[in-house]
Amino acid sequence: MGIHAFDVWAANASNREQMVKSLPISTLSDSVIGIDAAYYLEGPAKEPLVSALGGSPLALETSIVRELKDWEAVGIRPHFVFDGLDVGINDNPFGPSVVSARSNATAFETYDSDEAEQAIDLFRTSGTPTPAALSGFLKKLLHKHGIPFTLAYFEKHPSHFVDAIYGPSELFLYGVDKIITRFKLSYQPFIDSKLGNARQISQFMPEQSEFQRIDQRACLEELGRIPSGLFVDALLLAGSKALGQFPAFKEKSYTIRDVVHLLASYGRSVVNLCNQYPEDEQVPRATYLNYLDQFKRALTGIRHHVVITVEGDIEALDKEIAPADLHYCVGQRLPEELNMYLSRGLVQPRVLNWLASGTILMLAPYEGGDSQVYQNLIQVQLEPIRKQALSLLADSVHRYYQRKEITTKYWFDATSETKFNIKDLLPSPKSSISAWNVQEDSLLDRLHAMGGSSDLPIGSLSFAVRSLRDLGFARATITPRSKNGQQVRVPLEASEQS
C-alpha cells in the first residue's frame, strides 16, 4: 500500500524525470533485493474476475515463476518480506472490506442485468482479493522454488542485509532513501518449432528491460528543499497504514505538495496544525486533538520500529533513546522464540495479532456475508475455536497475556462488541492435550503409508485431516512420555478408516 497523495504527485510532477529514474536492469546484477510482498502482489493479482470466481488468479503462479526466473537470469536475488503483526492506527478497520463486498454485490447485480463489460470493470476495481488473502499462496510458491522470505521485521546490520528495496512509497517513513517502484521486463515473441509443433512464445530480453527508482532527496528538492523531518510528517498526515489521513482531508482531493504547504502555513508544526486548524460541525476540535495523539504514537512507532538483528535478537530501533511507554506505540513485547517463529513464517500472525492487540476483528467476506446463517457461523459456532486457539497460545507466554481481556468486533454490527477474559476459559485446552505426544517416527510411517505424496507434506492441514481419519494413527498420537526425555515407541496399528 502506497501513500496515494504522494504517488499521484510523483506521477505528475513537473520534475518527474529527476525524481523517478529508469535504469537498466543489469544495474541490479548480483544484488539482493528486499521485496515488500503485499506491494508485489498488487500487480499480478489484478485479474478482473477473481473476486467473482474466488481462489487465486488463474495465471498467478505462472506469472510469478516466470518473473523469478527472469530475475535470476540477470543475477537478482530476491528476499520477500511479508506483513507481520499490526501496529498501525486504524479508526475504520471494517471500511475496506465492507466497501469491497458492496462493490462485488453491485457487480453481480450488473452482471445479472446482462451488462457484462460494466460488471467486469466493477469486479476489477472491487479491491479483492487483497494481497493478504494471497500471501499464503505466495509463501508456498517461494518455499517450493527456494526463494527466502521473512515476516514483519526490518533487518538491522551494519553492512546492510539487502542492496535495494522494491516496495511502496510508505517505506520513505522508515528511513529508506531510494525505492524501486516498478520492474519493466521486456519480452520478444518468436515461433518455437521444436518437435514439429510450431507455437508462439515470448523470450525475456534483459538488454531492453529496466526498473524505476524514486529518490527521496530529489523529492525533497522538488517540494522546496524541505527537511526530511517535514517530509515524514507530511507523509503521515497524507494517510498510510501507520496512520489515517488528517481529518480535514477526508472526502477531498489533495497531493503531498498540498500537505507540505498546509504544514508550512502552521509553522511546520503538526501540534500547531491540530490545535489551530478551523473546526466545524463535521470535525470538532476534539477530533483534531485525538488525531494529534494518534500522530505522536504513530511517529514514535516509526522512529523506534521493531527490527531483527543479525544475531536474531528482536528489539526496538535506537532502543537506548526509546521512551519507556513504547509498548503503546509498537505493541506488547512477545517472547523472543515466538518472534523468531513469526519472522520465519512458522507461525502465522493472525492469532498473535488477536493476543497482542486484545481485539479480534471479523472482516466482511468477498460476497458480503449478509445471510444470518453465515453470521451465526462466525459469531456463534466458530467463537469457541477462536477462544481455544487464544488459550493455547496464552498458556505458553507471560501471565500478562493469560489474564488479558479480548474484545471481538464484527463487520455486520460495528457498534457492538463481545468481551471475554482468557483466564475464564475453562477447562483449559492445555489439560486436554497433555497426553498428546506425536512422535516423528509415527509421522514418517504415516507419510510412507500415504504414498509419500508431495501434495500432502507433513505440517499441512490436508495431511493432518487425512492422517487423523485413520483411527490407528490417531490412537498412536496419544502416548506416554518417559521421564528421561526419550520418546516411547508405539507401533501403529492396522489402518481403521472411519
pLDDT for 128 equals 64
- In this structure, the dihedral spanned by the alpha carbons of residues 27, 30, 31 and 32, taken in order and rounded to 10 degrees, is 150
The listed range with the strongest mean pLDDT (155-159, 232-236, 252-256) is 232-236
Is the pLDDT reported for residue 494 higher than 60?
Answer: no
For 93-118, the three-class secondary structure string (H helix, E strand, C coil) is CCHHHHHHHHHHHHHHHHHHCCCHHH
Over residues 193-235, the pLDDT tens digits come to 665 565 667 888 889 999 999 999 999 999 999 999 999 999 9
pLDDT for 200 equals 63
Is the pLDDT reported for residue 492 higher than 50?
Answer: no
pLDDT for 105 equals 83
pLDDT for 452 equals 64
Is the pLDDT reported for residue 265 higher than 80?
Answer: yes
pLDDT for 160 equals 62
The C-alpha angle with vertex 475 and arms to 470 and 478, in degrees rounded to 5, equals 140
Is the pLDDT reported for residue 46 higher than 90?
Answer: no
What integer is the mean pLDDT of 227-251?
A: 92
Is the pLDDT reported for residue 124 higher than 70?
Answer: yes
Q: Give the chain's mean pLDDT.
A: 84
Is the pLDDT reported for residue 432 higher than 80?
Answer: no
What integer is the mean pLDDT of 367-377?
A: 87
What integer is the mean pLDDT of 465-492?
A: 70
Residue 448: helix, strand or coil by DSSP?
Answer: helix
What integer is the mean pLDDT of 66-88?
A: 89
Instruction: Compute the distance between CA of residue 237 and CA of residue 225 in angstroms, rounded to an integer.
Output: 19
Is the pLDDT reported for residue 104 higher than 80?
Answer: yes
Extended strands (E) in 205-242: 210-215
Candidate from 95-104, 120-129, 288-297, 341-350 with smallest mean pLDDT = 120-129
pTM of the model: 0.83
Chain center to CA of 20: 26
Q: Which three cell numbers stand for residue 131?
A: 494481497
Residue 154 vs residue 203, higher pLDDT: 203
Q: How many other CB atoms are found less than 10 A from the CB of residue 446?
A: 23
Is the pLDDT reported for residue 480 higher than 80?
Answer: no
Taking each continuous run of H as one helix and of E as one strand, the counts in the chain are 23, 15
Over residues 174-197, the pLDDT tens digits come to 989 999 999 999 988 876 666 556
pLDDT for 192 equals 65
Assess contact for 3 and 256: CB atoms under 8 A: yes
Q: How many other CB atoms are found less than 10 A from the CB of residue 477?
A: 17
Over residues 274-299, the pLDDT tens digits come to 999 998 888 899 999 999 999 999 99
Assess contact for 52 and 122: CB atoms under 8 A: no
pLDDT for 497 equals 39
Q: How far from 410 is each of 133, 329, 356, 359, CA to CA, in Å?
A: 18, 24, 18, 11
Is the pLDDT reported for residue 15 higher than 60?
Answer: yes
Residue 400 vs residue 496, higher pLDDT: 400
Which of 142, 135, 121 minimizes the C-alpha distance to 46?
Answer: 121
Is the pLDDT reported for residue 360 higher than 70?
Answer: yes
Is the pLDDT reported for residue 429 higher than 90?
Answer: no
Is the pLDDT reported for residue 158 higher than 60?
Answer: no
What integer is the mean pLDDT of 96-113?
A: 84
In angstroms, how far is the first alpha carbon of the chain from the final one?
47
